[in-house]
Amino acid sequence: MRVFVTGAGGFIGQHLCAALQAGRHEVLTEARGADVVVHLANIAHARAPEAELRRVNVDGSLERAREAAAIGVRRFVYLSSALALDASDRYGRTKLAAEQALAALRGVEVVVLRPPLVYGPRVRANFLALMRAVARGLPLPLASVRNRRSLVYVGNLIDAILRCLDAPQAAGRTFAVTDGEPVSVPELCRRLGSALGRPARLFPFPPWLLNLAPPLRKLTGSLELDDSALREDLGWRPPYSMDEGLRQTARWYLDA
């Protein structure tokens, strides 16, 4: 299969292109001649002005899909976000708006995947900061947090994308994708510590005070996804457990 990946140089894009090549797919440098376009290239944080988020995430995504339809690409796989379900998040609002615009498009099969926080080798941003803190043995005020968060290891996300390249029943559908059972942040820290060979140092602190700091609010809130449609309708199962994903991520971090 001939596949064009936008955002191929990013965290997820690098993993996807490697998996495509390992699976003997042809990774193209442009959309012309492609059977499938996988669109990853969006602004992935909410610090940008909302107008810029809409220009890239909504207008840019729709433009890429229209171009794909015009040159005869069969399928357009769009990587959205679990935050599309959160109307209070401006990044999430642009992801939902992009989903809605793509749903109205004709001439190409659109498949949407909604991952929660993605982790794995070469991860950046909040997950890397948390892993670094655990690895350094820093005390973390997270012991009292009682939340539930879905996560997805990048290897599991890539496997789901590969399944959506040609599954007939995926056309026109939106799927959540996760590792499975959600975890609390304290449990995540403990599992990370185990993978790093360094026990997480957690101490109790009022969660409502943590919520006053925007970076910590993302850790303390709950975000659970139901990926049963992907599992039942496409027969997908994550090839990696969360513990295995964390071990792979920790190995990369320690080697780097």
pLDDT in tens, 169-187: 999 999 999 999 999 999 9
Give the pLDDT confidence score for residue 46 in this predicted structure. 65
pLDDT in tens, 7-53: 999 999 999 999 999 999 999 999 999 999 999 999 877 678 888 99
**Residue 214 above 80 pLDDT?**
no
Q: Could you confirm whether 91 is annotated as catalytic?
A: yes
Domains and their CATH numbers in the chain: 1-114 (3.40.50.720)
* Band of residue 73 on the pLDDT scale cut at 50, 70, 90: very high
Tokens of 217: 């609010």
> Residues 203, 206, 208, CA angle at the centre, nearest 5°?
140
Mean pLDDT for 127-135 is 95
**Residue 217 above 90 pLDDT?**
no
* Band of residue 140 on the pLDDT scale cut at 50, 70, 90: very high
- Alpha-carbon separation of residue 196 from 54, 131, 154 (angstroms): 39, 9, 18
Mean pLDDT for 45-70 is 91
Tokens of 193: 């510590």
Please give the mean pLDDT across all residues of the chain. 94
**Residue 118 above 80 pLDDT?**
yes
Mean pLDDT for 164-170 is 97
Mean pLDDT for 64-87 is 95
Residue from 156, 163, 149 nearest 177 by CA: 156
CA–CA dist 47, 35 (Å, integer): 34
CA–CA dist 111, 171 (Å, integer): 6
Residue type, 211: N
Tokens of 79: 């990587």
**Of 91, 119, 153, 240, which residue is the catalytic one?**
91
Mean pLDDT for 89-105 is 94
CA–CA dist 148, 70 (Å, integer): 43
Using a pLDDT cut of 70, give the percent of the chain over it: 98
In terms of DSSP H, where are the helices of 54-89? 61-70
State the pTM of this model: 0.95
